[in-house]
Amino acid sequence: MVVVVKNDTDQERLKDLITWLKQFGVQIHITRGTQTSILGLVGDTSSIDMSDVQSFDIVEDVKRIQEPYKAANRKFHPHDTVVEVGGLKIGGGNFQVIAGPCSVETEDQICEVAKRVQKAGATMIRGGAFKPRTSPYSFQGLRATGIELLKEAKALTGMPIVTEIMSIEHLPLFEDVDVIQVGARNMQNFELLKELGKLDKPILLKRGLANTIEELLMSAEYIMAGGNENVILCERGIRTFETSTRNTLDISAIPVIKRHSHLPVVIDPSHAAGLTWMVEPLSLAAVAAGADGLIIEVHNDPQHALSDGAQSLTPDQFDAVMEKIKSLGSFMGKTLSC
């Protein structure tokens, strides 16, 4: 951490600041400039809050040098983390495709979709039981029943289940869920993250619409600080001024996360674009940029889907996209389970 102070500062108050900083166990080196001086802090600064430093009125600026995350940091864990889900590996060169409908609706629907996506090469089934909807008047998901239906699809196909949690109190219902998804809107629901840190089940953590990559890694840190290191990160588009797509897929997030963290990264092209015809080019871009997996919405009858029909592929469309994903994945040297 670097603290910039004005040079015309009262020496007594500078001493106060230095005494306060030293409480955190850091060493301080001073570089005096013409107008400002720079305090260089050496040691572990992760518990110093930049905002507190800034509240000293002699402080002109504070800049963090060290990344504020540890468990998620590649510096302290140079090798890729490989998360295992029911015998399937994700990360470290292993690539998986998770597919299924936005919402679980009926037994027929989820089972039919599960069989079709598995045949096409998907290795995990997704489907929303609890659905975050902008409007209270929209379908809110089948909830507990939805999870039961997912288990039937799993029994039928053997595919692990990926589904979203919206509240801590629903946790008991997720016992047989293989991967618990934290949605974009809950990325900074810190109480929920802390609870998930007590489990040893893999967590699929989606980036919030307005969250930086550093904040995503800090949310992963919440889970990992509790002891659960099975975190899979997911980029699903961020909010920008552009209106021709629902969100803007931040493809750069893949190399940035890979450089700073060892955790696997999957891409959700369905939510990023919000439109079916963009799923293929965005999926291929993600594979080429180094993603460890994809999560794609597929519905057997998108026009009568109870949510997000516009972005769901039909099983036939998914077959065609999967052919290209598998082919490109192999070309890029990925290990696919299908």
Residue of 10, 61, 84, 108 interacting with a copy of itself (CB under 8 A): 61
Q: Which residues of 242-260 are buried (b: 16+ CB within 10 A; e: fewer)?
A: eeeebbbbbbebbebbbeb
User: Which residues in 87-116 contact a copy of itself (CB under 8 A)?
Assistant: none
The least distance separating a copy of itself from the CB of residue 61, rounded to whole angstroms, comes to 7
As measured in angstroms, the least distance from the Cβ of 296 to a copy of itself is 15
Q: How far apart are CA 313 and CA 308, in angstroms?
A: 11
Span 245-304, contacts to a copy of itself by CB under 8 A = 245, 248-252, 254-256, 259, 272-278, 281-282, 284-290, 302-304
Specify the residue for token string 């990264």: 265
Q: How far is the CB of 12 from a copy of itself (least distance, A)?
A: 14
- The stretch near a copy of itself (CB under 8 A) out of 46-54, 108-116, 144-152, 153-161 is 46-54
Please report how close the Cβ of residue 184 comes to a copy of itself at its closest, in angstroms.
9
Residue closer to a copy of itself by CB (options 137, 175) is: 137
Q: Which is nearer to a copy of itself, 252 or 335 (CB)?
A: 252
Q: Is the dihedral of CA 9, 15, 16, 20 positive or negative?
A: positive
Q: What angle do CA 49, 25, 4 make, to 5 degrees?
A: 50
Site mask for a copy of itself (CB under 8 A), range 2-31, x = bound = x-x---------------x--------x-x
Given 189, 261, 270, 300, the residue binding a copy of itself (CB under 8 A)? 189
Which residue among 8, 135, 200, 333 contacts a copy of itself (CB under 8 A)?
135
Residue 24: partners with Cβ closer than 8 Å, 6 or more residues away: 43, 44, 45, 47, 48
User: What are the b/e assignments for 81-107, b being 16+ CB within 10 Å?
Assistant: bebebeebbbbeebbbbbbbbbbbbee
Looking at residue 68, the DSSP 8-state letter turns out to be S
Candidates 8, 11, 51, 78; binder of a copy of itself (CB under 8 A) is 51
φ, ψ for residue 260, nearest 5 deg: -95, -15
Query: Do the Cβ atoms of 308 and 298 come closer than 8 Å?
Result: no
Q: HSE on the CB side for 258, CA within 13 Å?
A: 15
Q: Could you tell me how far CA 329 lies from the centroid of its own chain?
A: 21
CA-to-CA separations, 191 to 160, 197, 201, 204, 219, in angstroms, rounded: 26, 10, 17, 16, 11
Q: Which of 9, 18, 24, 43 is close enough to bind a copy of itself by CB under 8 A?
A: 43
Q: Which of residues 203-232 bind a copy of itself (CB under 8 A)?
A: 208-210, 212-215, 218, 221-222, 225
Q: Which is nearer to a copy of itself, 157 or 247 (CB)?
A: 247
Binding window for a copy of itself (CB under 8 A); candidates: 79-87, 113-121, 155-163, 167-175: 167-175
